[in-house]
Amino acid sequence: MKEINVAVTGGAGQIAYSLLPRLVSGETFGVDTKVNLRLIEIPQVVDKLEGTIMELIDCGFEQTGSLLATADIKEGVKDAHWVLLVGSIPRGIVVDGKKIEERSDLLKINGGIFTDQGEAIGKLAQEDAKILVVGNPANTNALIGRTKSENPAQSWFAMTALDANRAKAQLAEKAGAEISSVTNMTVWGNHSPTMYPDPYNAQIDGVSAVEVINDLDWVENEYLPLVQQRGKAVIDARGASSAASAANAAIDTVKAVDNKTEEGDWFSAAVPSDGSYGIPEDLIFGFPLTSNGQGKIDIVQGIELNDFAQAKIKITTDELLSEKEAVKDLLD
């Protein structure tokens, strides 16, 4: 069996509880790969990870390798092939007497976590390590972590796959189509209410979703806010932010990066901009991506963006630029 090292921060949190068994079961990295898992937590709760480790052992998966719990980010990310940065504060909870309502509230609280983590990853993880940021605000946290890593050979991603899955599900339901028939979904920009889950270039059985649904008012005035505000709707309904679907999207992202993309399709994640589509360089921006399955990820070029799309993409770009400005002290 091959072996890989996977580090996960926030190992005692609710997303991790859904995520961890699926990382060591053969589902994510393949049945021929043993997964050495390093769980990283803050010192106050690191002991709880012993219970999680007991449960992972009790699952009895043959792909489960060594299991480590640590509060030391350096120990956790050393030689990691994949690092999943989940640890951070979610919306909906009270911090210092104030309820955290918007992702912007999380900027200052969570941003600081990603400076030390970025430095440790840059120095200690594998030279070709892949890093997926799930903790919010995911794009700007990834910007901080990547900047601090000072290691451009490593590949940083921020998660927009949950938004893409939500967007596909809504289009499939409206069209009365199977979810598997919805392809080519891009979530442009930020994982926030300004995201643009592109219905024009998404396809249902190979035809533009907008054409298939044939209800522009629904697409522009109902579908978009539904997807953009889905995270809040889950928090309001569940009293806690989405966890099973977030873990599922993290697994989808790892698999999409590690495996060759199906011909003609693409997947959605936020990566450092190379200037494509006029997006300022290095901003961590949701793009349509393909993988060759050997570590090469490309931004799909030549996608047509109509005036509606361009206006939406400008809004989410401006938001990311203002987030970048708000954390500029952490980027020095």
234 touches which of ligand NAD, ligand LMR, none (CB within 5 to 8 A by kind)? Answer: ligand LMR
Tell me how far apart the alpha carbons of residues 90 and 15 are, in angstroms, rounded to a whole number.
10
Q: What element of type H or E holds 215?
A: none
Strands in the chain per DSSP E: 2-9, 33-40, 64-70, 82-85, 94-95, 98-99, 130-133, 155-158, 182-183, 187-188, 196-197, 203-204, 207-208, 267-272, 284-291, 297-299
Q: Using CB under 6 A, which of 6, 24, 39, 40 touches ligand NAD?
A: 40
Q: Could you say which DSSP state residue 262 is in? A: P
16 interacts with ligand LMR by CB under 6 A: no
How near is the Cβ of 192 to ligand NAD at its closest, in Å?
10
Q: Which of 5, 70, 242, 317 binds ligand LMR (CB under 6 A)?
A: 242
Query: Is the CB of 92 or the CB of 112 nearer to ligand LMR?
Result: 92
Choice between 270 and 303, CB closer to ligand LMR: 270
Picked from ligand NAD, ligand LMR, none, the partner binding residue 34 (CB below 5 to 8 A depending on kind) is none
Give 60-107 as a DSSP string: T-TTEEEEEEES-HHHHHTT-SEEEE--SPPTTSEETTEE--SHHHHH
**Contact between 39 and 51 (Cβ < 8 Å):** no
Nearest-approach distance from CB 176 to ligand NAD, in angstroms:
27
Closest CA to 157 of 177, 141, 172: 141
Select from 73, 234, 279, 289 the one that contacts ligand LMR (CB under 6 A): 234
Min CB(325)–ligand LMR separation in Å? 21
* Contact stretch for ligand LMR (CB under 6 A) within 46-54, 65-73, 150-158, 234-242: 234-242
Q: How far is CA 213 from CA 159, 174, 209, 264, 266, in A?
A: 27, 7, 6, 21, 21
Which of 284, 276, 282 shows the shortest CA–CA distance to 316? 284
Residue 81 falls in the annotated catalytic set: no
Question: Could you say which of ligand LMR, ligand NAD, none residue 14 binds, taking C-beta under 5 to 8 angstroms by partner kind?
Answer: ligand NAD
**Under rule CB under 6 A, which residues in 106-145 are in contact with ligand NAD?**
113, 134-136, 138
Cα dihedral 19, 173, 101, 321, rounded to 10, equals 90
Judged by CB under 6 A, the residue of 24, 40, 131, 162 near ligand LMR is 162
Q: Which of 191, 230, 312, 324 is catalytic?
A: 191
Q: Which residues contact 76 (CB under 8 A, 6 or more apart)?
A: 7, 9, 38, 39, 40, 68, 70, 120
Q: Is 136 in the site for ligand LMR (CB under 6 A)?
A: yes
- Residue 125 or 162 with smaller CB distance to ligand LMR: 162
User: Of these, 155, 181, 241, 276, which contacts ligand NAD (CB under 6 A)?
Assistant: 241
Nearest distance, CB of residue 245 and ligand NAD, angstroms: 8
Q: Can residue 187 be called a binding residue for ligand NAD (CB under 6 A)?
A: no
| Interface with ligand NAD in residues 85-104 (CB under 6 A) | 86-91
Task: Report the SS3 class of residue 45.
Answer: coil
Active site positions, annotated: 191
Residues lying near ligand LMR in the complex (CB under 6 A) are found at: 90-91, 136, 162, 231-232, 234, 241-242
